[in-house]
C-alpha cells in the first residue's frame, strides 16, 4: 500500500487545487484498501498518508503542537492551511518553540511583534509545491518559503538511513506525511533563517579569512551592502489594474503579479584559505596580490580601491550583483517544465549561461557537461579541460545574498577569453536583469500549474527604459511556449523602449534577435546602439512567407537540402529557431506537436532576425532599441552574439 500511495503522489504532484476533487475521489475509491493493508506497510518515518489538511493535521495533536497551533491561529494562517492549495510545511513541536523563545530572550509568543510572528510562520511554509524526501538534495530547495527565503537541506548517514537536516539545525523526525493539501515534515527546531548581510556572513566564516581581507582592502565590500530599495512602493493603480485582469486571456496562465518589493542581492564565489594554500601556496595578501598581477598585470599597485588594480580585478570577478543559489546558476533554467523531469532544453546539446561580474566589462560562463550530468562548471577551457566547480560548501545564506566555495582560482584568463571568442553567446532575455533574480521572479516555479505574468512599473528594472505607452511584463516558463528556457520578456502597447545588454567582450559579431511570431505582434523598428537595424520587422509574419522563405526541415534536419534553405533564409536576414529548445505541450496555437523544437516549429513561427554585423572595439554593454509603428505585443526571447570567425562552424542548435 505504501508503494501505491507513493506512486499516486508522484504522478499527481503539483496538480494543486484544481485536482483536489480528483484526489478526494481517488482516495474514496482506494479507501477500503487502506484498511486491508498491514499497518506496518503504512507506518514508519516516511511515506505515510492522512486524510487531513495540513491545518487539521496539526490541530489533531495539541499535546505536541499547541504552541504552533496558537501561532497559526494568532497569525490567521491556520485557515490558509485548511483550505485549497498545495503546501510543504515544516512543523516544530512545543519543545522546539520554547527553545526558540528562550533563544530570543522571550518566554512566550505574546512577547513577539505581530509582523515577527507572521514571518516565523511563513519561514516554515512553501506554497504551491510538495517536497517529499526523494525530492531533497543538498543545498537550497528550488522554491522559496512564503517569507521569501530559501530552505537549505543537508543530510547525513545513520545506522537507520539518511537523516535530513533543515537550515542546518532542524532534524526531520518524521517526514512525508501526506495530507489532502500538501506534505508535512516534523522537525526538532524552529526554522530561523539568518538575518546577517552577505558581508556579515562572510566575516563570521573563518574558512575565507584571506578572501575577506582582500574584500575589505579593495573596498569592494561597500558594493555588497544594499538590501532593499526602501523608496519603492508598488503603484496601487498598477496593482488594481493587473491583479486578476486577464485581458481576454485564459485565467489559468495570465495571472498578473506586481512585485511588492524591490530587493537587492549578491553572489560571492570564494576560494577558501585551504584551497589558496594547498593548490597555489598562497597564505598572505601579498602572495594573493602577486597571483592577481600574474593574471591581470600589475596595474595601480598602490591603490587597491582602483578598479584597474589587479587585486581589485581579481576579487571583483568573484562578485555578482544577483543572488544566485546553486540551482539557479543554470540547472533551474534547464528544467523549466511544469511536470517532473520535463525541460524546454533538448538535452543532447550543452547549455550555457553567461553572468556579468563586478570586474568591469567582463563575464563568466557557466555550462553543463551532458556526458557526466554536471551543472555549474565555470569558465571551462575545452582544449585543456580546466574548469572551476563548486565544492560541497555552497548555498550559504544571507538576507541580501549567498556565497559558495569554489575548488580553484576563478579568473578571466587569457585561455578562457580566447575560447569565449570562438563560440556563439546566446543570452536569455531574463538573464539581463538582476531585479528578476533578486526578487525571485526569473523562472519562478509555477504554483499549481499556473503560469505567472509579472507586471512592472516604470523604473523597476534598471536596464529597461520605457515610455508611458509601454507596459513591461515577464512571462514565467510555460510548457506551451516554444522559448529558450521557456520564459520571455513581453511588452505591450504602442511600445517604445530601450534595453541595455550585459557586457559583451570586444570582437566582431553577428548579432541576432530571437522571437516568436503571433498575429497580435505587428511591426516594430529595431535599433542597435541607436542606429536602425534594417527596415521595420514584421513580428506577425510567419517564416513560410516568401519574404522569409522558411521550409520545414523535416528529418533529418541538417541534410544538404535543409542547409541550402538555411542559406537562402540568411540571405533574407533570417534564421530558423534553435534546435536546442522546444515546446512541451500543444496549446493549439499552431506551433506544432509536443516536443517540437524551435527549428522545426510549424510554419516557421520561431525565428531569429539577423540585426547585422558589428565591430565592438571594447568590452562593453550595448543598447537594443525597439519602437512600434502601431499598437501591438512584443516578445523578447534571447539575443545571440556570434564571432564572425565562428559562423562557418556553427551548428543548428
Separation between Cα atoms, residue 230 and residue 262, nearest integer Å = 8
Q: What is the structure's pLDDT at 252?
A: 41
Q: At what angle do helices 209-218 and 273-280 cross, to 10 degrees?
A: 100
How many of the other CB atoms lie within 10 Å of CB of 288?
23
Q: What is the structure's pLDDT at 159?
A: 81
Separation between Cα atoms, residue 301 and residue 291, nearest integer Å = 13
Short-list 88, 291, 341, CA closest to 191: 88
Q: Mean of the pLDDT values across residues 517-537? A: 93
Q: What is the structure's pLDDT at 428?
A: 97
How many of the other CB atoms lie within 10 Å of CB of 143?
17
Q: How confident is the model at residue 43 (pLDDT cuts 50, 70, 90)?
A: very low
Would the pLDDT of 31 be above 80? no
How many of the other CB atoms lie within 10 Å of CB of 569?
21
Q: Which three cell numbers stand for residue 117?
A: 510572528
Find the Cα–Cα–Cα–Cα dihedral 463, 446, 197, 354, rounded to 10°: -50
Q: What is the structure's pLDDT at 246?
A: 43
Beta-carbon contacts of residue 237 (< 8 Å; ≥ 6 apart): none
Q: What is the structure's pLDDT at 29?
A: 36
Asked if the peptide bond before residue 556 counts as cis, ω within 30 degrees of 0, the response is: yes
Separation between Cα atoms, residue 413 and residue 377, nearest integer Å = 15
What is the reported pTM?
0.88
Separation between Cα atoms, residue 522 and residue 626, nearest integer Å = 12
**Element housing 298 (H / E):** none
The angle formed by the CA atoms of residues 503, 320 and 478, to the nearest 5 degrees, is 80
Q: Mean of the pLDDT values across residues 448-469? A: 87
Q: Mean of the pLDDT values across residues 77-91? A: 94
Find the Cα–Cα–Cα–Cα dihedral 316, 322, 328, 334, rounded to 10°: -90
Q: What would the pLDDT profile of 187-219 be if each residue is shown by its tens digit?
A: 999 999 999 999 999 999 999 999 999 999 999
Long-range Cβ contacts of 61-69 (<8 Å, 24+ apart):
64/93, 64/94, 65/91, 65/93, 65/94, 66/94, 67/94, 67/97, 67/98, 67/109, 68/92, 68/93, 68/94, 68/97
Q: Mean of the pLDDT values across residues 537-550? A: 94
Q: Mean of the pLDDT values across residues 235-248? A: 64
Q: Mean of the pLDDT values across residues 304-316? A: 96
404, β-bridge pairs: 269
Are the CB atoms for 549 and 565 separated by under 8 Å? yes
Q: Which residue has the higher pLDDT, 348 or 443?
A: 348
Q: How confident is the model at residue 19 (pLDDT cuts 50, 70, 90)?
A: very low
Q: What is the structure's pLDDT at 242?
A: 67
Average pLDDT, the chain: 88
> Would you call 230 exposed, middle or buried from its count of C-beta atoms within 10 A (0-12, 13-18, 19+)?
exposed
3-state secondary structure 370-439: CCCCEEEEEEEECCCCEEEEECCCCCEEECCEEEEEECCCCCCCHHHHHHHCCCCEEEEHHHHCHHHHHC
Lowest mean pLDDT among 42-46, 364-368, 490-494, 564-568: 42-46
Q: What is the structure's pLDDT at 448?
A: 53
Would the pLDDT of 13 be above 50? no
Pairing assessment for the beta strands 507-516 and 488-493 based on DSSP bridges: unpaired
Q: What is the structure's pLDDT at 450?
A: 64
Q: Which residue has the higher pLDDT, 243 or 205?
A: 205
Q: How confident is the model at residue 444 (pLDDT cuts 50, 70, 90)?
A: confident
Separation between Cα atoms, residue 6 and residue 22, nearest integer Å = 16
Separation between Cα atoms, residue 316 and residue 220, nearest integer Å = 7
Amino acid at each position: 500500500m505504501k508503494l501505491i500511495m507513493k506512486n499516486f503522489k508522484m504522478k499527481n504532484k503539483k496538480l494543486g487545487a484544481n485536482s483536489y476533487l480528483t484526489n478526494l475521489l481517488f482516495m474514496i475509491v482506494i479507501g477500503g484498501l487502506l484498511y486491508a493493508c498491514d499497518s506496518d506497510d503504512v507506518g514508519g518515518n516516511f511515506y505515510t498518508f492522512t486524510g487531513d489538511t495540513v491545518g487539521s493535521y496539526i490541530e489533531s495533536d495539541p499535546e505536541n503542537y499547541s504552541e504552533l497551533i496558537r501561532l497559526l491561529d494568532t497569525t490567521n494562517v491556520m485557515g490558509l492551511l485548511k483550505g485549497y492549495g498545495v503546501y510543504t510545511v515544516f512543523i516544530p513541536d512545543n519543545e522546539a518553540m520554547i527553545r526558540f523563545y528562550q533563544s530570543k530572550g522571550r518566554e512566550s509568543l505574546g512577547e513577539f511583534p505581530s509582523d515577527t510572528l507572521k514571518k516565523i510562520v511563513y519561514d516554515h511554509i512553501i506554497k504551491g509545491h510538495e517536497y517529499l524526501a526523494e525530492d531533497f538534495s543538498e543545498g537550497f530547495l528550488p522554491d522559496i518559503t512564503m517569507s521569501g527565503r530559501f530552505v537549505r537541506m543537508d543530510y547525513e548517514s545513520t545506522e537507520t538511513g539518511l537523516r535530513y537536516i533543515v537550515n542546518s539545525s532542524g532534524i526531520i523526525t518524521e517526514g512525508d506525511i501526506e495530507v489532502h493539501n500538501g506534505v508535512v515534515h516534523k522537525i526538532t527546531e524552529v526554522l530561523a533563517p539568518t538575518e546577517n548581510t552577505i558581508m556579515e556572513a562572510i566575516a563570521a566564516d573563518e574558512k575565507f579569512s584571506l578572501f575577506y581581507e582582500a574584500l575589505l582592502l579593495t573596498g569592494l565590500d561597500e558594493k555588497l551592502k544594499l538590501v532593499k530599495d526602501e523608496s519603492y512602493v508598488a503603484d496601487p493603480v498598477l496593482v488594481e489594474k493587473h491583479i486578476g485582469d486577464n485581458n481576454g486571456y485564459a485565467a489559468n496562465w495570465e495571472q498578473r503579479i506586481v512585485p511588492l518589493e524591490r530587493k537587492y542581492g549578491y553572489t560571492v564565489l570564494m576560494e577558501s584559505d585551504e584551497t589558496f594554500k594547498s593548490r597555489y601556496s598562497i597564505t598572505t595578501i601579498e602572495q594573493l596580490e602577486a597571483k592577481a598581477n600574474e593574471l591581470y598585470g600589475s596595474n595601480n599597485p598602490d591603490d587597491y580601491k582602483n578598479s584597474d588594480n589587479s587585486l581589485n580585478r581579481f576579487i571583483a570577478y568573484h562578485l555578482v550583483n544577483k543572488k544566485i543559489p546553486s540551482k539557479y546558476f543554470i540547472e533551474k533554467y534547464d528544467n523549466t517544465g511544469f511536470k517532473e523531469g520535463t525541460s524546454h532544453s533538448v538535452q543532447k546539446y550543452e547549455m550555457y549561461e553567461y553572468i556579468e561580474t563586478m570586474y568591469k566589462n567582463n563575464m563568466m560562463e557557466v555550462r553543463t557537461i551532458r556526458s557526466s550530468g554536471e551543472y555549474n562548471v565555470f569558465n571551462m577551457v575545452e582544449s585543456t579541460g580546466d574548469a572551476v566547480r563548486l565544492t560541497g560548501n555552497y548555498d550559504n545564506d544571507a538576507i541580501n545574498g549567498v556565497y559558495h566555495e569554489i575548488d580553484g582560482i576563478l579568473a578571466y584568463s587569457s585561455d578562457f577569453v580566447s575560447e569565449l571568442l570562438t563560440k556563439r553567446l546566446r543570452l536569455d532575455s531574463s538573464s539581463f536583469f538582476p531585479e528578476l533574480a533578486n526578487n525571485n521572479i526569473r523562472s519562478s516555479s509555477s504554483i499549481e500549474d499556473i503560469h505567472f505574468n509579472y507586471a512592472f512599473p516604470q523604473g523597476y528594472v534598471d536596464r529597461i527604459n520605457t515610455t508611458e505607452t509601454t507596459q513591461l511584463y515577464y512571462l514565467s516558463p510555460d510548457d506551451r511556449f516554444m522559448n529558450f528556457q521557456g520564459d520571455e520578456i513581453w511588452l505591450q502597447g504602442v511600445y517604445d523602449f530601450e534595453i541595455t545588454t550585459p557586457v559583451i567582450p570586444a570582437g566582431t559579431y553577428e548579432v541576432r534577435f530571437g522571437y516568436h511570431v503571433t498575429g497580435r505582434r505587428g511591426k516594430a523598428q529595431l535599433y542597435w546602439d541607436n542606429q536602425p537595424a534594417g527596415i521595420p520587422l514584421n513580428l506577425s509574419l510567419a517564416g513560410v512567407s516568401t519574404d522569409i522563405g522558411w521550409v520545414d526541415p523535416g528529418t533529418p534536419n541538417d541534410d544538404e537540402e535543409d542547409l541550402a534553405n538555411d542559406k537562402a533564409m540568411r540571405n533574407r536576414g533570417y534564421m530558423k529557431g534553435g534546435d536546442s529548445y522546444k515546446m512541451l505541450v500543444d496549446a493549439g496555437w499552431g506551433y506544432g506537436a509536443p516536443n517540437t523544437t524551435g527549428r522545426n516549429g510549424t510554419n516557421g513561427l520561431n525565428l531569429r532576425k539577423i540585426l547585422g554585423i558589428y565591430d565592438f572595439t571594447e568590452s562593453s554593454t550595448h543598447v537594443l532599441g525597439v519602437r512600434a509603428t502601431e499598437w501591438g505585443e512584443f516578445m523578447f526571447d534571447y539575443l545571440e552574439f556570434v564571432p564572425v570567425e565562428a559562423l562557418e562552424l556553427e551548428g543548428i542548435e
